[in-house]
Amino acid sequence: MMMNRKKNENCWIHVTRVANGRFWQCKYCNLTFEGDASRIKAHLGLDGETGNITRCFFYDGDEQVHNNLASSSNNPILVQGEKWSIRDRSIFESKISNLKGMVIDLENEENDIAKQTQWLKSRGKKRKPEVDVWIKESHELKERVGAVNNLDDMNELFKDMKRHKGEKPLTLSTEFVGKALDVNIKKVFHLLNDDRVFVIGIYGMGGVGKTLLASLVESEIKKKGTFKHVFWVNVSPNFTISKLQHDIAKRIGMELDEDDERSRANKLSTTLETKENSVLILDDVWKYIDLEKVGVSTKANGIKVILTTRLKHVCQQMDCLPSHMINVIPLFEVDEGWELFKVKLGHYGTPAILSPEIENIARVIVDRFEGLPLGISVMARTMKGIDYIGQWKHSLNKLNKLESGQEVNEEVFEVLKRSYDNLTERDLQNCFLYCALLTCYEAYDRDEMIMKLVDNGLINGNRCLEEIFEEGYTVLGKLASHSLMSSCEHSYQFNFQLSIDTACYIMKESKRNAMVKFENELTKTNIAHEWAADLEFVHIWASDIEEIPEGVSPYCPRLSTLIINQSSVRHVPESFFKCMNTITILDLSYSEKLECLPNCISKMKSLVSLVLVECNMLKHVPPLGELKALSRLVISDCSIKEVPQGLDKLLNLKWLDLSVNESLSFELGSLNLTKLQYLDLQDTRAKISIEDIQRMTMLECFGGAFDCKHYDQYVQSYLDIRSGLKAYHLILGNVHDESRSVLRNNIYLKTFDRSDPEIMTILFRDCDHFSHMLPKDLTCLHIDKNDHWVCLCDALSCNMTSSLKRIGTYDCRQLERLFCLSDSCSFCSKIHKLEILELESLKRLTVIGVDARRSPSLGGIFSCLQSFYISECHLIEKLITPMLVQQLQNLETISVRCCNSMKEILAVSDDISDITLPKLKRLVLDYLPQLKIVCKGSIHCGSSPPKLTISHCPSLERYPTIKCCKF
């Protein structure tokens, strides 16, 4: 018997004796049967025949894995089974069953990879190294099964296996480059499997890989059989409903003979109903498609629609929610673009190997296309088989001059130009060209880009600023929606070199010319020779030329825009602008070494906009009195001590920014600039009277400093009476005391973003006056280095319900409390919209609000509060008292740092232990040496737990108890 057991040892480990040894029980499926080794082998399928024995469903013949899995049934935790309850044993066996199922799933995925790899080999292709990494980890996870000996280990292993299964590469061939590709495929399948999703939008710029993504999804659907049918239809830019109906009918194998559009739609819809659980892919969509008119009723017949387009707004018009849209972007990692180039340069998926010298040039060529797969692939194809370094250099030079040849022009730039052509308005096309030429390595400020469009005449500037910026935001939004640029909060970003090349290509095609040079592309040697006579636009960025040679005088009689930013030039010779008589926009910003401007600027009578920002050494600007066309003048963050001569003669000036010139001293009333719409004098010594501002009847944006004693007069006689100002930043203090330093608290005067809490801002600094009335439209209040106030309520008041959304209080040495919380207080009883509260370096602060006899209602001062930040306030012990805690129903963020006496964050009354913060997302506690408790009871949050960051709190007794609830 022992010899027989030893001989058949490979099958005995898969069963367990039960019923006093009379039966065998399979460790995988729990089937019980009697007999010898032959019957066990039959059950496991080891001898090829099962006879009348039921085959084990879970065992698939992988001895290594199943030996581990079987042996796990004999580990110590089950040996102690006598002590286990029936429920514990049931849970354990359920976990074992789950692990078995996951092992089978992983093995099925490995088999699928093996089949695909075989197919790739048959076509001379190779699989990605990432696939081998995935298979190796898969084997390691299966080997861990044998080491599992408790429920925690089982749960952890199951999670790792589930994660690993989800990370399986979907694109195996080396020809498919980029991590985002697999991620996007999985996103599409996630949406396809969601019964609430009917239309999925894939959008992005031309040549980025939208069609590739859709085709890979199509292949995956066919391979997995997750849907009964998948139909692919190419949609031409000039499609008609009739043509699309016939194209779809052809794909699903039916004839449409009807002449009437509605009849065709009904017949198509009826046929599609028989094709339920299907996917329809509409590729290259350029405008809205009424699917109901076509005959595709997604909700009625279970058809899912995937569309690819360059136009984000088309996805939105076809009822794609933001979460149902996938933005395909260029390869964002440097090595991904390079890997794609090498693969396309090589043969059958094998990357090409280049000499170090050629590789250096090739990498520069690849960088020009900024991760755009189409450009990289076409360029690689044109360079196949070339090993002469001179030809590589020649190709790079041609690319820099946009003379890459017909192949690159037709397959890359003409493809990109289609998005430009799709902009039906001529002005919108010109806006794209201009904005693309403005771009550089850094995101371009949104408001400055709009003002450049105004300066150039592409946006009508003869309106109020609010209308101008509304149109500007609309224009930029349209360009972003056409995938011609990307947007972030207050800036816009192009694929900088690619957009510039495309814009220059388009201008060249229409016999126009522009020059854009970055970093060291323009040198002292070639600066005199790069200027063509037909140039209309020049943008030079980050040039290290320190001196423009005397006598250099580029002949550019058509030049309208000259932008030289971040240059090292110290001096510009008089001759330089001699033959540039048509310049309307001159921007020399961020030229930190520039000391003065040439006097010839005084004669540039066509100049509409002169912009000088952060020219830190600039002390002199020549007289500007003859520049009658000048409507925008920006001299900000420079070192001028007096305003340019003749400023009072600029009767058409609408925009004046002289901010952050700390030595600049002048009287605003002497300028008599009555047409100004925008005036920023923050961080200057300008003397401003109420009467000066009142005379500027067209003023919409203002930033500047007043003496505290004139403040109330200004509020009562101006701000609360007329509604002309759409944005303001006022600084209040003893501004005319020459012994004091300038009030350096410049805030960027954002224009008309109504969601910005700083759009209407007042800063009180070193103000010894009390009882200040706040304007009714004030949105942001800052108190900084104000050493005279003990409580905000003692110094501030409101006539009516305030619009205040943000309060920031910094470095006020006498401030002991913020609010009195009295219902009769003319300040805190009127604040019901406060969203952000920031407290920093308040050395004597002991309490946020003083307990009133009658606690404020739930609609009180903190009822809208979303963010609370406090740091370096060393006397306060309890952050939020019980009467305020109940108001924090909208609180999302609490950040408490470096408060030496802080002991409790959220205090509660004796009869209440738990608190409810339904919107809390983040809690930060850092460097609080005496903190003992966050909250006595539990914190009830929303469905997702908040992110906790707790560090350097040595006295903390326990972490807060968080309970997630559905409200």
For 524, the token pair is 């002292």
Percent of the chain with pLDDT over 70: 85
- CA 265 – CA 292 distance, rounded (Å): 8
- Does residue 62 carry a pLDDT above 60? no
Q: Which two tokens stand for residue 314?
A: 């088309």
Does residue 569 register a pLDDT over 70?
A: yes
Closest CA to 893 of 821, 835, 956: 835
CA distance 376 to 598: 45
**pLDDT surpasses 60 at 76:** no
776 confidence band (pLDDT: 50, 70, 90):
confident
Separation between Cα atoms, residue 959 and residue 933, nearest integer Å: 8
| Max mean pLDDT range (105-119, 133-147, 301-315, 484-498) | 301-315
Phi and psi of 635, rounded to 5°?
-130, 85
pLDDT value at residue 98:
80
Write out the DSSP string of 21-49.
TTEEEETTT--EE---HHHHHHHHTSSS-
Kind plus residue range of the DSSP H or E element containing 609: strand 609-613
Predicted pLDDT of residue 177: 78
The pLDDT of residue 838 is above 90? yes
Please tell me the distance from the alpha carbon of residue 6 to that of residue 276, in angstroms, as a whole number. 57
Q: What is the pLDDT of residues 93-129, one digit of tens each?
A: 777 778 888 888 888 888 888 887 787 777 777 787 8
Nearest residue to 827 (alpha-carbon basis) of 857, 849, 845: 849
Alpha-carbon span 773 to 720, nearest angstrom: 10
Residue 780 to residue 800: CA distance in whole angstroms = 16
**pLDDT over 90 at 71, yes or no:** no
pLDDT digits (tens, 9 = 90+) for 154-210: 888 888 888 888 888 877 776 777 788 888 998 999 999 898 999 999 999 999 999
Greatest distance between any 2 Cα atoms in the chain: 116
d(CA 344, CA 337): 11
Q: What is the pLDDT of residues 436-482, one digit of tens each?
A: 998 876 667 888 999 999 999 999 999 999 899 999 999 999 999 99
Comparison of pLDDT for 691 and 933, the residue scoring more: 933
The verdict on pTM exceeding 0.85 is: no
The amino acid at 408 = V
How many whole angstroms separate alpha carbon 760 and alpha carbon 530?
A: 47
Helical H segments across 193-333, by residue range: 210-224, 241-252, 261-273, 291-294, 298-301, 312-317
Q: Which residues contact 254 (CB under 8 A, 6 or more apart)?
A: 267, 268, 271
Residue type at 527? I
Three-state DSSP at 518 gives: strand
Instruction: Give the Cα separation of 760 and 774 in Å (integer).
Output: 11
Q: Tokens for 193, please give them.
A: 């499997």
And the tokens for 94?
Answer: 């359920």
* Helix, strand or coil, per DSSP, at residue 783: strand
Contact 902, 928 (CB under 8 A): yes
Per-residue pLDDT, averaged over 882-905, amounts to 93
Helix 414-421 and helix 426-438, axial crossing angle in degrees, nearest 10: 130
Q: In whole angstroms, what is the distance from residue 10 CA to residue 28 CA?
A: 15
Q: What amino acid occupies position 769?
A: H
> CA 291 to CA 272: how far, in whole Å?
13
Torsion region of 131: left, alpha or beta (phi above 0 gives left; psi -120 to 50 gives alpha):
alpha
Tokens describing residue 948: 């906790």
Containing 148, the helix (H) or strand (E) segment is none
* Per-residue pLDDT reduced to its tens digit, 279-311: 999 999 999 999 999 999 877 667 899 999 999
CA gap 766, 810 in Å, rounded: 11
Which stretches within 225-370 are classed as H helix?
A: 241-252, 261-273, 291-294, 298-301, 312-317, 334-345, 356-368
DSSP state of 383: T
Best CA proximity match to 187, nearest among 61, 80, 306, 66: 306
What is the layout of strands, in order, in the sheet containing 486-487? 444-445, 491-493, 486-487
- For tokens 């500037």, what's the residue? 461
Task: Provide the residue type at 801 as one letter.
Answer: T
Output DSSP code: residue 643.
P
Name the residue type at position 185.
I
| Partners of 948 in beta bridges | 923
More confident of the two residues 174 and 412:
412
Q: Where are the alpha helices (DSSP H) in 661-776?
A: 690-695, 708-714
Of the listed ranges 223-227, 489-493, 508-512, the least confidently predicted one is: 489-493
Token pair in block for residue 546: 């320190």
Checking DSSP bridges between strand 847-849 and strand 878-880, what pairing results, if any?
unpaired
Q: Tell me if residue 603 falls in helix, strand or coil.
A: helix
Nearest residue to 184 via CA among 160, 205, 164, 204: 204
Work out the pLDDT band at 43, boundaries 50, 70, 90.
Answer: confident
Q: What are phi and psi of 316, to 5 degrees?
A: -65, -40
Q: Between 587 and 963, where is the model more confident?
A: 587
Q: Which residue has the tokens 């006496």?
A: 901
Quick one: CA dihedral 396, 398, 402, 407, positive or negative? negative
Q: Which range among 183-192, 486-495, 607-616 shows the weakest confidence by mean pLDDT?
A: 486-495
Which neighbouring-strand residues pair with 960? none
- Give the Å distances, CA to CA, from 368 to 144, 157, 208, 500, 797: 47, 45, 15, 10, 59
In angstroms, the CA 230 to CA 462 distance is: 54
**Residue range 365-398, pLDDT digits in tens:** 998 898 999 999 999 999 999 999 999 999 998 8
Helix or strand (DSSP H, E) at 824: none
Among left, alpha and beta (phi > 0; psi -120 to 50; other), residue 927 is left
Closest CA to 576 of 593, 554, 547, 596: 554
Q: What is the pLDDT of residue 6?
A: 46
Dump pLDDT digits (tens) for 921-947: 999 999 999 999 999 888 999 888 899
How confident is the model over 699-746, as pLDDT tens digits? Answer: 999 999 877 666 666 666 666 555 568 888 988 876 555 444 444 455
Q: Which amino acid is it at 275?
A: K
Confidence of residue 616 (pLDDT cuts 50, 70, 90): very high
**Residue 87 pLDDT exceeds 90:** no
Per-residue pLDDT at 79 exceeds 60:
no
In tens, the pLDDT along 321-337 reads 999 999 999 987 778 89
Instruction: List beta partners, residue 306.
Output: 200, 281
Confidence of residue 74 (pLDDT cuts 50, 70, 90): very low
Mean pLDDT of the chain: 84
- Reported as a single tens digit per residue, the pLDDT across 848-883 is 987 654 444 435 789 999 999 999 999 999 999 888
- The answer to whether 599 and 624 have CB atoms below 8 angstroms apart is no
